[in-house]
Structure 1
């Protein structure tokens, strides 16, 4: 067994294989020079220096030697020769019988900014380490992108005492993820935190000490942090016979198998067809990287398990804990539970009367109940569901 990628998905695949009875060899390749580590703390505790020694404190609690896993760090996969069952790496070729692709995603950079001093991405432990001095020095920071990672970094930077401006090409935060009715109240979150939010204006160029906007205006910046999305890290699979989608993701089936014999794919690098939602999903979140490996491992061991989770993710920003469970479309019916101008509220999406997704802001009870309701495709009474004074479970109606 060869697993390419030593993030959450790759590590959990190795763990699941052993737990489910795999007795043969496992080789785990990681292209970073660090032992495998967890990513969520990078935009929080590591940035603020709360994790002490980041290289130690964010490592997974896995004893790879005891697990019988041959961990090879600092080894990058360069190509895949499926006809020969061989992974080509910068350390030489590696033969496999079974292969799991778990190479994750890479952050999208602004065109023409690669290597520019003072321009940062936030995806790896080294990225977080490079940003620590920015926060320690309380520099003026411009964040490009008002998505999840942009908001989380802005939160940490303000907590550290930095002057922060967030610029977003769309007309509002999280425009690609959530409807205006849900995101409109989030503007006040930035204001209350002392973060200047500029929307509806793309970045034109970066200059030393400044960000140039499309209207010619300039924003002073000692550092620029770019958070405009991520793409599956699958370039090394070109010409391999592993089919990729237009978004670059591995097109796995509902058992997480790829189009190449003996090759499966898990985590941020792979999409899969969801019977629950009637479409192919590409999920760039921690929970997907935790759940998928167990299905993949079971199927390597001869099982026939379908992967069709209820997606889940969370974000800590501006003193709020935001959680989302499920998956919605723009055509789904949106119901608000509570007033988004208040400290805690929820948003529910119904499709043909069935609950398909819920976003909660500091309402953990709604989140816990929503997960159960979505898993069983529960039908809700819209009037009851919109009443935030009653438990969400009370809105369920007979199918």
Structure 2
């Protein structure tokens, strides 16, 4: 059988989304031996790039970009950039785009997430989000001019941007509606000590404070205060970028994410979903997870590619992992602590290095490490193994975490 015959017998794969999840899907498909046509559609005109450097090196001007070092032509991938996907017609097996319909045999949706916009600020000059390379490029001169900057939201992206802005010499005020940073993702006893990091860096953190309006040069708070702002950066979360799927019949959850199954299959035949746009059921944690982090976009494509090439019926049930660099600290998290019944401290949060471990019925389910990468490495393996730990041994920060196994 000729190469041409083999290629025509293998399905046409169309991937919508040229971020980490989409690019990794294309790469792993080729590594797995898929010889059929692969089309990668990206809404941005830039060559596909990695996002984590945007809030660090790209924003501060120490790097010009973070494009993936991939020769798509050599890989045999038809890369179509600057093309918006506008709909899917599963019965016809076509993706509608601004450039016309694109037929597929297998569709992989990897369209990512989009930032939540602060209501009423859509058309206000000087209000920014930080999600794309263009966003970072617009913000670079803002930092270079050392403006007074107001950051709305003390989540991961707010903290990372505040860190970069302080490094650039800006006057930074962070406004958070909750009573502490990271209120939506970490319990109070863990997140509250992190509030001190802002003051240490020279940033002002206003908690329990809501923004009621933004005018050019000014942020208006609910208590009547007005903050001078050469720029406003909004970091109040992101939602799956799935609005274009309306009317397709592809099932979405109440969170707007594509409701994929344990093999990352969407509800329509021949359609998969991976990365920030998709939720999946986790047997490990007993609930459906929506993970907006880089490692999920890196790992999920392996499951999708395995299904497409027919090599595996592997189930996708990872231990979620992410990291954040903020205020001179390297913060790492592995697992999912929602159902934990015990939290164990390792070290003093007033110091530069500490961690916490969450247990459920004595079994490790999650870990947060600040400046303790060894804890993270060992803890992640223990979580994956479902290891039972002795809380008293876990609490000894001088003892390697792997020595705490019962």
Structure 1 length-normalised TM: 0.98
2:39 aligned partner: 27
Select 1:149's aligned residue among 152, 157, 165: 157
Conserved? CA contact 1:325–1:367, under 8 Å: yes
2:281 aligned partner: 273
Select 2:389's aligned residue among 376, 380, 386: 380
1:13 aligned partner: 25
Q: Could you tell me which runs of 5 or more consecutive residues in structure 2 were left unpaired when the two chains were aligned.
A: 1-12
* Cα deviation digits, residues 278-324 of structure 1 (max 9, x gap): 11000000000000001100001123110011110000000000000
Q: Distance in 2 between matches of 1:225 and 1:330?
A: 33
Matched, 1:307 2:316: yes
State the secondary structure of the residue aligned to 1:92: coil
Q: Distance in 2 between matches of 1:266 and 1:5?
A: 10
2:62 aligned partner: 50
Conserved? CA contact 1:165–1:197, under 8 Å: yes
Conserved? CA contact 2:339–2:360, under 8 Å: no
Q: Distance in 2 between matches of 1:328 and 1:177?
A: 9
Q: Distance in 2 between matches of 1:370 and 1:360?
A: 9
Large movers: runs of 4+ above 6 Å: none
Deviation at 1:115, TM superposition (A): 2.5
Deviation at 1:332, TM superposition (A): 2.7
Q: Distance in 2 between matches of 1:389 and 1:93?
A: 60
Q: Could you tell me which runs of 5 or more consecutive residues in structure 1 were left unpaired when the two chains were aligned.
A: none
Q: Distance in 2 between matches of 1:32 and 1:353?
A: 47
Select 2:178's aligned residue among 170, 174, 178: 170
Q: Distance in 2 between matches of 1:121 and 1:391?
A: 40
Q: Distance in 1 between matches of 2:198 and 2:96?
A: 46
Matches of residues 110-125 of structure 1 in structure 2 within 5 Å? 110-125=118-133
Conserved? CA contact 2:124–2:215, under 8 Å: no
Select 2:189's aligned residue among 181, 198, 202: 181
Select 2:204's aligned residue among 196, 213, 231: 196
Conserved? CA contact 1:179–1:330, under 8 Å: no
Q: Distance in 2 between matches of 1:304 and 1:341?
A: 47
State the secondary structure of the residue aligned to 2:58: coil
Matched, 1:225 2:237: no
Structure 2 length-normalised TM: 0.96
Matches of residues 355-370 of structure 1 in structure 2 within 5 Å? 355-370=364-379
Q: Distance in 1 between matches of 2:395 and 2:43?
A: 48
Q: Distance in 2 between matches of 1:114 and 1:83?
A: 36
Q: Distance in 1 between matches of 2:379 and 2:283?
A: 19
Across the aligned residues of Structure 1 and Structure 2, the Cα RMSD in angstroms comes to 0.7
State the secondary structure of the residue aligned to 1:297: helix
Conserved? CA contact 2:197–2:327, under 8 Å: yes
Conserved? CA contact 1:312–1:326, under 8 Å: yes
Q: Distance in 1 between matches of 2:191 and 2:283?
A: 28
Conserved? CA contact 1:345–1:361, under 8 Å: yes
* Cα deviation digits, residues 341-376 of structure 1 (max 9, x gap): 001000100001100000000001101100110011
Conserved? CA contact 1:13–1:297, under 8 Å: yes
